[in-house]
Amino acid sequence: MMFDGVYLPAVAYAALASFAFGAAYYGLLSRAWVSAARLSPEQAKPKVTTLALTLFCEFVMAFVLAGVIYHTAEVTLGNGLISAAMIWVGFMLTGLIINHRYQSASWALTIIDSGHWLGVLLIQGAVYGYTASIMVQS
């Protein structure tokens, strides 16, 4: 199933994989993140609606990343990773640095959150690039 050159099943796999990564990442770094975000443990517990919104947004992110990969180069694992890294450096990292500085957030929060988004994008780029390239060959 394809939409304008984007393989939707591969997008779904990428979104689910990055969502699982986020759960594991913040599960491992939960104490450091709660401290860096200056939240209480109760404030840091996500609601089911927040988790659902996160999954939806990661699906949108994976879809847009897939479109970027498709429109800029051949869809491959390597091009997925390169596109993901470029988007992270150009948009995610810079956006987090700016927002966190205006919010007077700690650099620790910026490092933790930017590491999460790097992982999300690299996973999405890798999963989409690999899966879609296999689908094209079939």
Coil/strand/helix, residue 2? strand
Tokens of 84: 């993901």
Answer positive or negative: Cα dihedral of 77, 79, 83, 89. Answer: positive
Question: What CA–CA distance (Å, rounded) separates 76 from 88?
Answer: 18
pLDDT of the residue at 99? 98
pLDDT of the residue at 135? 81
pLDDT of the residue at 4? 74
| pLDDT averaged over 10-residue windows placed end to end, the chain, 138 residues | 83 98 97 96 94 98 96 93 97 98 98 98 98 81
Q: Give me Rg for the CA atoms of the chain.
A: 16
- DSSP annotation string for 59-70: HHHHHHHHHHHH
Backbone angles phi, psi at 105, to 5 degrees: -75, 160
pLDDT of the residue at 2? 64
Q: Tell the residue number behind the tokens 């990055």, with chain if given.
A: 18
Residue closest to 8 by CA, chosen among 94, 71, 52, 67: 67
Q: Provide the β-strand partners of residue 6.
A: 3
Q: Tell the residue number behind the tokens 């689908």, with chain if given.
A: 135
pLDDT of the residue at 138? 63
- What is the pTM assigned to this prediction? 0.93
Angle between helices 107-137 and 77-87 (to 10 degrees): 150
Question: What CA–CA distance (Å, rounded) separates 84 from 76?
Answer: 12
